[in-house]
Amino acid sequence: MSDHFSGPRALADPAADISDVFAFPAPGNPQRLVLAMDVFGKAGPSAVFSNAVIYRFRLRRASIAATGPGGSSFAVDAEEVAFDLTFDVPSGANDTAQQPQRGHCLTPGGETVSFYTNDENGGQGPGVRVFAGQRSEPFFLDVRMIEKTVATRQIAFKKVGSDTLYGTNVLSIVLEVEWAKLLDGGPMFAVVCETLQAGPQPTRIERVGRPEIKNVSLSFKMFDQVNRDLEIRDLYNSEDAFALTPDYVGAYRARMNANLSFYDSLDGKIDWPLDEVGNHPLTRLLLADFLVVDASKPFHETSYLEIERAMRAGRPHATAGGRWLNEDVMDFIFTLYINGGNGPRISDGVDAPIAWSSTVFPYLAPPNPPKVQAP
């Protein structure tokens, strides 16, 4: 749930609020690429997908354009493929009994694969398998200690933290795609997920690529000397991840520079010196806010940002990159932001979700039972 509550507008309809995006080669079948989008963090058992939202996976072919610590970057094609998922109003939607909801996946080739939610076998079409339904939240972190770290400007993580998301559920959409057949190219792809308001002119509600860009990296205003009062996330959500509006890039850059510099200062030393115009070395890379996955490389449990780190180091990448469901992304991010890997691992004290995801379709663990009410 790295992107949950990521902007006031997204809160208006929880079923449109993307919490996480994952992309990884199918562990048992390298011909297949797995894409997953979670929405509706902390979903109760009644949660269903909105009939007014298009859940979109966008993929563009990517390649490495530049390497080295100063300016590594990707080149991303202008053309793209997309998978659009839509959902019907479930029959008996106002009943307490859980009625399955019918969903439809429009593939890049224009074929529609229909399925019912919570069917673990999913729907199947030529080169694609689809699951949608309620699952256990795969993300884990200690939000209270992140907030305390920011408020006190000191690392507040405990040896044993408290998983804010323990036992909660999300609505997940999982696609398993024969990438060579359906994506017509590759093997490296830039992946971003979006929710859009359906209608004659679909309107973007939210977009997510990398984890914790909006909340951990962009939301805090107090370090930003340029736009101290700007709630930047709704603006950021409305942007095309592959083509940021030039007018606003300066605002995103200023916020990202300020917040990354704050994190870098937490261990009392500077691991990320700013360049001559005040840019943090990671800002450009992170504002290219899409997961990059190389489907030709083997699946690896801890591959998030491995391609980008290899680019900075000027070496070939060894893993598929992207993001696997079970990776402890928060520890990775804090270690990267605070010491750049030049020091000990920074752990938030939460090392596992309530249930690990599996290596077989639909990957995410079944939903947790509802809890009793707090006193």
Partner 1 sequence: MIAALPVKRAISASGTNAAVMTHGTIALRNLEAQIEGLEPNATPSRLGGEERAWLIDLLALRGSILGSIADYKRALGLADLLVRDASTEAAAFLARARTRAVFHRFRDALDDLDVAERLAADAESVDRERAAVFQGLGRYDEACAIREEYARRCPSFESLGALTTLWAERGDTERAEWLHAESVQRYRGVSPLPLATLDFQLGVMWMHEGQLDRARDHLIAARRYVPAYAPAEGHFAEVEAELGHFDLAIALLIPLATSSDDPDYAAQLARICDAHAGYPDDARYWRERAAARYDELIAAYPEAFADHAAEFWLAAGGDPRKALTLARRNLEIRKTPRAGSLVSRAIAADEAAGAWCFSHPQTSHSATSAAN
Inter-helix orientation angle 329-339/246-265, to 10°: 80
Identify which of residues 264 and 289 has a Cβ nearer to partner 1 in the complex: 289
Q: What's the closest the beta carbon of residue 273 comes to partner 1, in angstroms?
A: 34
Q: Nearer to partner 1 by C-beta: 41 or 281? A: 41
Nearest to 130 by CA among 187, 176, 171: 176
Element (H, E) at 336: helix 329-339
Closer to partner 1 at the Cβ: 81 or 216?
81
Instruction: Identify the CA nearest to 346 among candidates 357, 336, 360.
Output: 336
Q: How far is the CB of 297 from partner 1 (least distance, A)?
A: 19
Q: Which is nearer to partner 1, 201 or 225 (CB)?
A: 201
- Nearby residues of 200 by Cβ (< 8 Å), 6 or more positions away: none
Distance from the first to the final alpha carbon of the chain? 25
Closer CB to partner 1, 67 or 162, in the complex: 162
Contacting residues toward partner 1, per CB under 8 A: 5, 9, 11-16, 40-48, 50-53, 56, 59-61, 77, 79-82, 84, 89-90, 93-94, 106, 108-110, 143-144, 147, 162, 164, 168-169, 183-185, 196-205, 238, 240, 370-375
Shortest Å distance, C-beta 368 to partner 1: 11
CA 300, CA 197: separation in Å to the nearest integer?
35
Rounded CA separation 175/55 (Å): 12
Q: Which residues contact 358 (CB under 8 A, 6 or more apart)?
A: 365
For residue 25, which amino acid is it?
Answer: P
Closest CB 231 distance from partner 1, rounded Å: 10
Q: Report the nearest approach of partner 1 to the CB of residue 233 (Å).
A: 14
Q: How far is the CB of 146 from partner 1 (least distance, A)?
A: 10
Q: Which is nearer to partner 1, 237 or 261 (CB)?
A: 237
Give yes or no for a contact between 147 and 5, defined as CB atoms under 8 angstroms apart. no
- Least distance to partner 1, CB of residue 114, Å: 16
Token pair of 120, please? 């673990």
SS3 231: coil
Measured from the CB atom, is 203 or 342 closer to partner 1? 203
Beta carbon nearer to partner 1, 170 or 174:
170
What are the strands of the beta sheet with 128-136, ordered from one edge? Answer: 18-26, 29-39, 169-178, 128-136, 123-125
Least distance from C-beta 300 to partner 1, angstroms? 25
Could you tell me which residues are beta bridge partners of residue 174? Answer: 36, 131
